[in-house]
Structure 1
Amino acid sequence: MEFERLFLTPKYEFYRFSLNYDDVAYLLITDNFNPAPPEFGTPFFDNTFEPNENQISVQCGVLRKLSENEDNYLQSFIEGLLGFKPSIDYIIDYFKIKRELEFDYPTEEGFKELLARINTLFSSNVIINDFSSFNNIIQK
């Protein structure tokens, strides 16, 4: 599986994962800059959860059922990004999406369209004011 980081802002990172040129999953990582609420840990720790300094929201939109290897790859990728960061809490929230995110690359209107679709699918509020910097941000 291959990945591309499509954007990075102070609060958000967004990745596309593909296999044989077909999109498999999209990953939105959100830095909440606040501790997790107490109910965040309840399913895992009952009433003993003590939140760390920062909660990172990790949402993974998948286009189809992932194989065990694909799921392991995604989890390893996320752990590689977040595992070394001190004092954070995160879990991976998987959800199904119906179709690939297409956008007119590399135009400004294409990025605006992509952000609108991401904000709708992920119930997020990603805002990017200067799209000219994308020539330096998008990477494989």
Structure 2
Amino acid sequence: MDFQRLLLTKDCELFRFSVGIESIAYLLFVDTFSLAPKNFGEAIFEDDFNPNDNHILVQCGILRELTTLEREEILSFAEKLLSSKPSIDYMVDFFHAEADLESDYPEGDGVFDLVSKTNELFKSNIVIEDTSSINNIVQK
């Protein structure tokens, strides 16, 4: 399985996962820069949940049923990306994506189309005001 970072802002990262030429999933990380709400951990820890300093929202929109191995690889990817971050809470939320995030990105204004489609798919609020960093190795 291959992955490609499509977007990086100060508070989010978006990745596409593919097998061959087939896109199979999109993984969005959103840094809330705040504590996880109490109900986030109560389902797992009951009354013993003490939130860490930062809550990361992680959503995975899948385009088809994933094999067990594909799902494990995506979870491992998220864990590797976040394991070095101190004092965070996160959980990967999988859902079926209704549409692929096809756009002209990275050409022209394609990044705005990608952000619009991403916001619609993930019900997020990503804002890109300046596309000048899109050609940089690290976008911000």
Indicate whether 1:23 and 2:27 are aligned: no
Structure 1 gap ranges (5+): none
Displacement, 1:109? 2.1
Displacement, 1:137? 4.5
Displacement, 1:132? 2.7
* Residues 7, 138 of structure 1: 8 Å contact kept: no
Q: Structure 2: how far apart are the matches of 1:130 and 1:105? A: 14
Indicate whether 1:107 and 2:107 are aligned: yes
Q: Structure 1: how far apart are the matches of 2:119 and 2:61? A: 12
Q: Which residue in 1 is equivalent to 2:118?
A: 118
SS for the counterpart of 2:136 is helix
Q: Structure 1: how far apart are the matches of 2:19 and 2:116? A: 25
Q: How does 1:68-83 map to 2 (within 5 A)?
A: 68-83=68-83
Q: Structure 2: how far apart are the matches of 1:91 and 1:127? A: 23
Indicate whether 1:50 and 2:53 are aligned: no
Indicate whether 1:130 and 2:127 are aligned: no
* Residues 105, 114 of structure 2: 8 Å contact kept: no
Q: Percent identity?
A: 48
TM-score (structure 1 length as normaliser): 0.94
Structure 2 gap ranges (5+): none
TM-score (structure 2 length as normaliser): 0.94
What residue identity is the alignment partner of 2:91? I
What residue identity is the alignment partner of 2:73? Y
Aligned-residue Cα RMSD (Å) equals 1.4
Indicate whether 1:9 and 2:9 are aligned: yes
Q: Structure 1: how far apart are the matches of 2:120 and 2:111? A: 14
Per-residue CA distance 1:8-59 (angstroms, 9 max, x = gap): 1110000000001110000110000001011110110111100000000000
Displacement, 1:106? 2.5
Aligned length: 139
Q: Structure 2: how far apart are the matches of 1:8 and 1:105? A: 13
Q: Structure 2: how far apart are the matches of 1:85 and 1:106? A: 29
What residue identity is the alignment partner of 1:37? P
Q: Structure 1: how far apart are the matches of 2:105 and 2:118? A: 15
Q: Structure 1: how far apart are the matches of 2:9 and 2:108? A: 16
* Residues 103, 114 of structure 1: 8 Å contact kept: yes
- Relative contact order: is structure 1 or structure 2 higher (C-alpha 8 Å, sep ≥ 6)? 1
